[in-house]
Amino acid sequence: MTSVDIAALRSEAERGAGEANAAEDAIHEIVKVFHARLGDRQAHLRPGALLAGQNQFFVAGAFMATSDRTNLMLIGNIGFPADQRRLLVPIDGGNPGQVMASGKPLLLEDTTTRPDFKQYLSTSRMSSAIYAPLMQSGEAIGLIIMAAQARWTFGTADLDALTALVPVAEAAWQRLDGPAWLRTECASADT
């Protein structure tokens, strides 16, 4: 990872989220910051980092728990295909489910060594990922994620930086009444 000034990263995320008028827009502003800055941008050059035919790319977003706590909805995302906008995944599924249950951040430097890795991106398997839970009253209400196709793209410093942005996302989500927005979005998705 290139050196990241966490204070500057957080300040940029706060500025973007503070200018947003809707919960998903605030999350998207935060996602833009870490999507642009985190991860080793040269990881794909390491021997074995990519398989034949693979290309390095990044995805990022937030998965927020639905009010019935059965699913997580992808919001504010970058790099996911258009048909996965507002993707719903089981709240207990794969690594996002693990983070929701534990309330602890997770670093997967090489997902190919993890038989428990569940791929939700429809276009290809990601080989390195970081996850940080959003907490409220001791319970995970969602998580922010970033993944890359090349193995070893993310390390501890990236996870620390992502985790530093969690309070910004939690505050924006509450300030803009994200739970009410999510209930409305889920209801319109059902009709």
> Residue 122: what pLDDT?
58
pLDDT confidence band for 191 (50 / 70 / 90): very low
Q: Which of 34-48, 107-121, 132-146, 157-171 has the lowest mean pLDDT?
A: 107-121
Q: What is the pLDDT of residue 189?
A: 58
Return the SS3 of 176: coil
Q: How far is CA 26 from CA 12, 120, 158, in A?
A: 12, 23, 21
For residues 79-91, average pLDDT:
84
Question: What's the CA gap between 191 and 148, in Å, rounded?
Answer: 34
Are residues 75 and 86 in contact, defined by beta-carbon separation less than 8 angstroms?
Answer: yes
The domains found in the chain, sorted by start residue, are 6-190 (3.30.450.40)
Q: What is the pLDDT of residues 71-83, one digit of tens each?
A: 999 999 999 888 7
Backbone phi, psi, residue 164, to 5°? -65, -20
**Terminal Cα-to-Cα distance of the chain (whole angstroms):** 44
Give the global pTM. 0.92
Q: Are strands 128-136 and 106-108 parallel, antiparallel or unpaired?
A: antiparallel
